């Protein structure tokens, strides 16, 4: 999906972020131990709606990105807050750059501090985005469906 590709590209262009993942929470948990930090974890699309107008459709999607860094379990509040403040800057920059693409209407953006539920203790900012694509896709332009998951790899 081109929308996700654009989001992942923008995340990877941030020179501060060392690892960008597009995974389920379980899969991200398995991978972050072996990857350099800080991380931007784009979770699999939470919901996906389509508005059909003639032979065109406009996609709306809910995306969640977790900007995070490892923190010690014994980290005090000041250390955790410093990490969150730093990750908030990353999230704000990402949102500005995503808006600059003019590909989406921003229906809702929510940001909150979070501690990751991973084997590795991570702290950061979760950015929840409800987006609607501005440019429709025609049904005739869709790629052919694949039969199996192996076709996708």
Mean per-residue pLDDT, 116-126: 88
81 pLDDT exceeds 70? Answer: yes
Instruction: State pTM to two decimals.
Output: 0.83
Residue spans of alpha helices (H) in 18-152:
25-32, 77-100
**pLDDT score recorded for residue 149:** 56
- 11 or 57: which carries more pLDDT confidence? 11
**Positive/negative CA dihedral, 153, 41, 51, 137:** negative
Nearest to 90 by CA among 28, 18, 140: 18
**What tokens does 101 get?**
């693409």
**pLDDT score recorded for residue 45:** 72
Calpha distance 35→122 (Å, rounded): 13
pLDDT category at 116 given cuts 50, 70, 90 is: confident
For 88-103, the pLDDT digits (tens) are 999 999 999 999 999 9
**What tokens does 14 get?**
């941030």
CA 52 to chain centroid: 25
Q: Do 124 and 98 meet the contact criterion of CB atoms below 8 Å apart?
A: no
**What tokens does 65 get?**
């990105």
For 35-66, the pLDDT digits (tens) are 999 999 999 776 677 777 777 777 788 899 99
**pLDDT score recorded for residue 79:** 92
């Amino acid at each position: 999906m081109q929308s996700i590709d654009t989001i992942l590209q923008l995340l990877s262009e941030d020179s501060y972020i060392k690892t960008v993942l597009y995974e389920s929470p379980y899969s991200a948990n398995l991978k972050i131990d072996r990857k350099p930090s800080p991380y931007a974890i784009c979770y699999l699309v939470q919901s996906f709606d389509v508005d059909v107008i003639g032979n065109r459709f406009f996609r709306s999607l809910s995306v969640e990105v977790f900007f995070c860094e490892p923190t010690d379990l014994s980290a005090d509040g000041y250390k955790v807050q410093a990490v969150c403040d730093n990750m908030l800057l990353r999230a704000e920059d990402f949102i500005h750059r995503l808006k600059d693409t003019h590909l989406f209407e921003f229906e809702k953006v929510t940001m909150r501090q979070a501690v990751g539920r991973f084997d590795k203790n991570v702290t950061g900012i979760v950015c929840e985005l409800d987006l609607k694509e501005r440019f429709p896709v025609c049904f005739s332009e869709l790629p052919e469906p694949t039969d199996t998951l192996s076709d996708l790899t």
